[in-house]
Amino acid sequence: MSNPAGAHGYDFPIMDIHAHFVPHRAERAADNGEEWHGITFGRDKVGKLVSSYGGKTAPLAWKTPFETASQRLASLDARRIDVQMVSLSPTMYWHTLDAANCRGFAHDINEALEGFVATAPKRYVGLGFLPLQDTAGSVAELERCMREREFAGAVVASHVNGTDWDSPDLFPILEAAAELGAFILIHPALGRANSWLAKYYLRNFVGNPLETTVAASCMIFGGVIDRLPNLKVCLSHAGGFAALGIGRLDHGCEVRPEAAKNINRLPSDYLKAFYVDSISHGERALRHVIDAVGIDRVLLGSDYPADMGDPYPVDFVESCDSLSDSEKRQILGLNMGALLQNDVAVKLA
């Protein structure tokens, strides 16, 4: 194995907590135009993988052919990343799947992810996929991910078929995550504003951070943070628009009774309970996010291999003159290192 943890110039492992994979089984299904757990896979006219279910199609705009887990190690080394936390591509979060297929799909995704991690267990950490349309199935799969597969936690969509994370139906999943010490990454998927953000790729530029902001806002105003103070939740893409808009949420909480009925503090206080990744695409934006959530809540992220990610996140953080050396070290790995469960931490040591 090349470059063990800590080999890229620091006395701790540099950890990228936001990266994705696609299982080989999905690629095979796409090449053969097959269904897998009720999802239809195929290729578009330029060879990109697409998946479809229920009359909707999601393209995957990654370079092809995909890297294997072993091949990806060279990319990690080139980007000076010691450890990468890997989860399923959000284009495959088909939470509209029927009950007969959703549990099996999640199980097979996590089995494939376990194999991906096993190719280099000191370089990769898994974030499992949950059948969120099935609450009991999600709790069972999360327990399996944490206790049997030794994943760090799970990735979840910003909404589940239009249901937000303040819903009583989804609360048992978050409750289980808090009890298990699972790290939860909230990632936008199947954006609800896609229909009117059809131009200029705005469904990603605007729609993705909008989804993340709505997810965080519903958790805040719904009282989820008060009920689960030990929950470890990370918001993708530097928290979307949450840090920028937090003053408006505070004002709304003070003047609108429906906003304050479930909480007894300002939203800006609750925002500090979330973690965020560093994918801000600008130093001023990152500095603002740090000031809003606290330096101990910011984690390195790349969104690899998506084109809208940060291809060289270590270089970006190091280039930020407004960050102290101590702040850079926290973002690059110290913060995430403090969050990992003991069994995962031992495996990486």
Tell me the DSSP string of 99-117: HHHHHHHHHHHHHHHHHHH
Over residues 271-321, the pLDDT tens digits come to 999 999 999 999 999 999 999 999 999 999 999 999 999 999 999 999 999
Average pLDDT of the chain?
93
Which whole number is the average pLDDT over 317-345? 91
- Is the model's pLDDT at 34 over the cut of 50? yes
**Rounded distance between C-alpha atoms, residue 309 and residue 19, angstroms:** 9
d(CA 337, CA 314): 16
Residue 349 has pLDDT above 70, yes or no: no
Predicted confidence at residue 3, as pLDDT, reads 46
List all residues 6 or more positions away from 129 whose beta carbon is below 8 Å from its beta carbon. 87, 88, 93, 106, 109, 110, 113, 141, 154, 155
For the stretch 3-31, pLDDT in tens is 455 667 899 999 999 999 999 999 999 99
Please determine, for residue 182, whether its predicted confidence score (pLDDT) is greater than 70: yes
**Residue 98 in contact with residue 161, Cβ under 8 Å?**
no
| Structure-block tokens of residue 336 | 């995430």
270 has a pLDDT exceeding 80 = yes
Domains of the chain: 15-26+69-348 (3.20.20.140)
Q: How many residues does the chain have?
A: 349
What percentage of the chain carries pLDDT values higher than 70? 96
